[in-house]
Amino acid sequence: MKKTILSKDKIKHIAKLANLSLGEKELQKYTEQLSSVLNYVEILRQVRTRNVPPTYQVLDETKNIFREDEIKESFSQKDALAQSKATHNGYFLARNVFEERETSTKILKHKKRKVIDKYNAILSLVNSKGNVGHKDLFITKGIETTAGSRVLEGYIPQYNSSVVSDFIEAGFITKYKLNQDAWGHGASGENSDFGPTKNPWNIKKVAGGSSSGSAVVVATRKVDVATATDTCGSIRMPSAYNNVCGIKPTYGAVSRYGVIAFASSLDCPGLLSTSVGKLKKFFNLINKKDLFDATSQSKSRGRNLGKQKGIIGIPIEFLSDGIDSEIKKIFMQAVDTFKKANFKIKKVSLPHTKYGIAAYYIIAPTEAASNLARYDGVRYGNDRNYFGPEAKRRIMLGTFASSAGYTGRYYEKAARVRTLFIRDLEKAYKKVDAILAPVSPIPPFDIGEKSGDPLQLYLMDIYATPSSLSGTPSLSIPCGFTKNDLPVGMQIMGPRWSEEMLFDLGEKYQRLTDWHKRKPNLADE
C-alpha cells in the first residue's frame, strides 16, 4: 500500500517556502501528483549506498577561474533597469519583505500570441533571411527570450549567450526563437506556456521535449541547424521523434553562459541537424572553453581515447520490460547494421538503470527550485503567479527534497546513486568503445495522452538518465520508422570527451542507411 508522504497542509507549507500561491484545486492536485512521484522515488531506498560518496558535480580536472578586476564597458543604469516592471529614483522597486502580503490565486489573463507556423514550433520570426534557430533558453540580445514561460514573456535581453555569439562570429544569422517545454521541463513538448509543439510526421502526436521547436524546424528543413539543450533527454527525445540528428555533449564541453538554467549540474547545450556530418561541423563551432563559464575549462578536453576496440555494447537492462516491441525490433535491426560493418556486439550491464528516473527527479527539481528562485518579477519578467503547472510541480518537489530533515533521505541519497551510475558506465567502457541504445521506450504518442499523470511522462526519460547523470556524451540518430510511419531514433553513448568517436560511428551508420534523409510530407504547408 502506498504511503501518503505529503498531506495538503504540507503542500501548502512547501508552496509558502517556494513563494508560490495555490488555489484549493491546485492544492489537491499537487498533493496527489507529488505524493505519487515521491512514492516512486522510494525505490532509491533499495540501493545500498553505504560508503559510496555522493556526486554533486561531474567535472574532471576543472578548477575555478579568476579574472583580474578590470573596469570595462557594461550596462548603463538605464539598461540594467530596462526590464523591471517598477523602479524608483534609479533603483528596482520591490515589496516590503517584512509585511504579510496577500497571495493571489486568480486566473491570469494572457495576451494571445500570433501563431507563426502550423506546428507551433516557432515563437518568434527574427529574420526571414537567417539560417539558424535558437531554442528559447538561449539569451539573444534585443530579441525576446521567454524560456517557453509566461514568466519571461516580453523579456528583451541586453546580451547574447556564448553559443549565440559563436554562431554570429561564424557568420550565422538568427532566423527563429523556438518553442520548448517551459524552462526545459518536459519530454514531450507539451509543457510550453504557449501551447504544445506538434510533430510534423503526424500533427496529433507530440514532438518530444524539451527542445521540441528546434527539432521540428530542422525536420521540416526550415534551417540546417538549431540550438538545443539536454538535461535528461531534451535533445535526444525530440531528435528521435522528428527523424533528425542531435548531440548531447560531454557536460562542460559547451558553454552554459547565457543559457537559462534548469539544473546546473546536468544542463548540456547542444545542437540538432539533418545529418551527423553537418552536426559535427556545427558542433566544432561551439565546442570550446569560455572564460565566462568555469565548467568549460577542463584540461581533459580533446583527450586521446586510445586505440578503439571495435566493440559496441548493448545494455541488457534497456531491452527488457517496458520497451515497445516495434521499437525493439527496429533497434535490433540497427544493431545488425553495425554487425555487418564488422563491429563486434557485446552485451553490457548498467545495473542501476531502473533507479535513474528516481535519482534524476530528485536532483533536477532540487537544482531547478534554486535556479527558479530568482524569478520574482522585480528585475525582469512577471511574478511567480505566472509559473505553469509543471514548473510549480518541480519547484515544490525540489523545495521539499532539499528542506530540513529531508536532504539526506532524498538529495544526498540520489547523489550517491549518481556515483553508482558513473561507476556502471566506467566499468562498461573498459570492455566496449561505445554503447548503443534506444532513445525512447515508445513511439511518439498523442498530444494530451499522458498529461494527467506526470509520473508517466517522467518515466519516458529512462534511457536518457545514464548519460545525463554521468555527464557523458550521447549522439541521437534516426534508425527507422514504425508501421504508422512514425520516426524511431537510437543513441550512441560514449565516455567523457568521446564526441569525435560518436560522430565517426554515426557517419559510418549513415553511409549504410538513408533513414536520416526521409522528410515529413510538407505539401500542405
User: Would you name the residues annotated as active-site residues?
Assistant: 135, 210, 234
**Measured between alpha carbons, how far is 131 from 394 in angstroms, rounded to an integer?**
34
**Measured between alpha carbons, how far is 343 from 138 in angstroms, rounded to an integer?**
39
323 Cα distance to chain centroid: 22
Where does 136-219 show beta strands of DSSP type E? 174-178, 198-199, 202-206
Report cis status (omega within 30 of 0) of the bond before 162: no
Residue 191: name the closest of 404, 412, 460, 499 by CA: 460
**Measured between alpha carbons, how far is 286 from 228 in angstroms, rounded to an integer?**
12
Residue 311: name the closest of 277, 348, 276, 280 by CA: 348
Burial of 518 (0-12, 13-18, 19+ CB in 10 A): middle
Give the sign of the dihedral formed by CA 184, CA 322, CA 355, CA 505. negative
* Number of Cα atoms under 13 Å in the Cβ half of residue 76: 3
Yes or no: say if 119 and 200 are a contact pair by the CB < 8 Å rule.
Answer: yes
DSSP labels, 297-362? --TTTT----S---EEEEEGGGGSTTS-HHHHHHHHHHHHHHHHTT-EEEEE--TTGGGHHHHHHH
* Number of Cα atoms under 13 Å in the Cβ half of residue 104: 8
Q: Look up residue 126 and give its three cell numbers.
A: 527574427
Yes or no: say if 509 and 334 are a contact pair by the CB < 8 Å rule.
Answer: yes
C-alpha distances out from residue 245 to 204, 238, 354, Å = 22, 9, 26
Q: Which helix (H) or strand (E) holds 273?
A: strand 268-273
Q: Which helix (H) or strand (E) holds 212?
A: helix 212-219
Q: Look up residue 422 and give its three cell numbers.
A: 558513473
According to DSSP H, which parts of 74-125 are helical?
77-81
Contacts of 208 (CB under 8 A, 6+ apart): 187, 188, 189, 199, 215, 237, 238, 239, 240, 241, 242, 440, 444
Yes or no: say if 443 and 478 are a contact pair by the CB < 8 Å rule.
Answer: no
Contacts of 64 (CB under 8 A, 6+ apart): 294
